């Protein structure tokens, strides 16, 4: 009688262990599948950014704005179901400006720019909010560097910024497509100039540094995004 009970006990324990092992194996397989899916997702984004090889420590460091663009394009592709060839997108992170460039500009090295690009966006992450309601008018200018010379553009865009509220995306996105008219171009720089509600000029360099994340190498650094068609405005 005792032997039978023990035998049943061992049988139950063995069965439980087999079930635990099966569940563990299933969870590991699901985890591995999710990891592979994430790896493929990041690989697709990096391919879109024209990055073929990255070190292990940088493999997951895709700019959040580019991830949003990829997800948006992916959803459009699902809706389109092969009726178009897709959209080519390039992005450039901020860089050191030319040695003779003035201070206070955000620079990008676009020497590898695809000549078929028609639209461009300057993407800046708003890191700071003003404690009280306050608005300023911001006007965006650009400098293009080509063959050793610098050319400043007329104002690209003017808009009101509410300093106590961040955009829903977290980014201030400016349409800078006119800079693509300058060819050839090696580098392009941007400067934000502000006036307050009374029309007085505000110290633009200090305010830009206060409002936006300008740290190169961070996940929220400035980004120049170029499109084969018009900007997506996501």
Q: What is the mean pLDDT of residues 132-153?
A: 90
Task: Give the architecture (CATH level 2) of 87-227.
Answer: Sandwich (2.60)
Instruction: Give the model confidence (pLDDT) of 40-75 as tens digits.
Output: 555 555 444 444 443 333 445 788 899 888 887 777
Which is higher by pLDDT, 45 or 182?
Answer: 182
Q: In angstroms, rounded to a whole number, what is the distance separating the alpha carbons of residues 20 and 226?
A: 51
Q: In angstroms, rounded to a whole number, what is the distance separating the alpha carbons of residues 213 and 221?
A: 6
Please report which helix (H) or strand (E) contains residue 208, including its range: helix 204-211
Q: What is the mean pLDDT of residues 197-221?
A: 86
Per-residue pLDDT at 134? 87
Q: What is the mean pLDDT of residues 113-126?
A: 93
Which is higher by pLDDT, 201 or 97?
Answer: 97
pLDDT at residue 24 above 80?
no
Q: Hey, is 219 helix, strand or coil?
A: coil
Instruction: Give the model confidence (pLDDT) of 38-49 as tens digits.
Output: 555 555 554 444
**Domain parsing of the chain, residue ranges:** 1-62, 87-227
Helices 2-48 and 64-80 sit at what angle, rounded to 10 degrees? 90
Please report which helix (H) or strand (E) contains residue 13, including its range: helix 2-48
């Amino acid at each position: 009688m005792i032997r039978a009970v023990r035998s049943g006990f061992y049988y139950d324990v063995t069965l439980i262990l087999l079930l635990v092992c099966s569940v563990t194996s299933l969870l590991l397989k699901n985890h591995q599948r999710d990891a592979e899916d994430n790896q493929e997702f990041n690989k697709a984004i990096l391919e879109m950014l024209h990055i073929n090889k990255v070190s292990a420590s940088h493999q997951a460091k895709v700019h959040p704005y580019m991830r949003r663009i990829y997800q948006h394009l992916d959803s459009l592709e699902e809706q389109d179901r092969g009726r178009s060839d897709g959209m080519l997108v390039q992005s450039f992170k901020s860089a050191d400006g030319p040695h003779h460039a003035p201070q206070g500009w955000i620079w990008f090295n676009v020497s590898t720019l695809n000549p078929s690009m028609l639209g461009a966006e300057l993407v800046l992450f708003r890191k700071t909010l003003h404690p009280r309601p306050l608005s300023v008018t911001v006007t965006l200018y650009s400098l293009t560097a080509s063959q050793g010379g610098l050319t400043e553009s007329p104002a690209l865009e003017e808009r009101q910024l509410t300093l106590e509220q961040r955009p829903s995306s977290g980014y201030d996105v400016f349409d800078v497509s006119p800079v693509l008219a300058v060819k050839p171009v090696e580098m392009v720089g941007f400067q934000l100039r502000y006036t307050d509600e009374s029309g007085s000029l505000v110290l633009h360099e200090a305010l830009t540094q206060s409002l936006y994340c300008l740290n190169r190498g961070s996940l929220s650094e400035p980004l120049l995004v170029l499109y084969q068609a018009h900007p997506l405005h996501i």
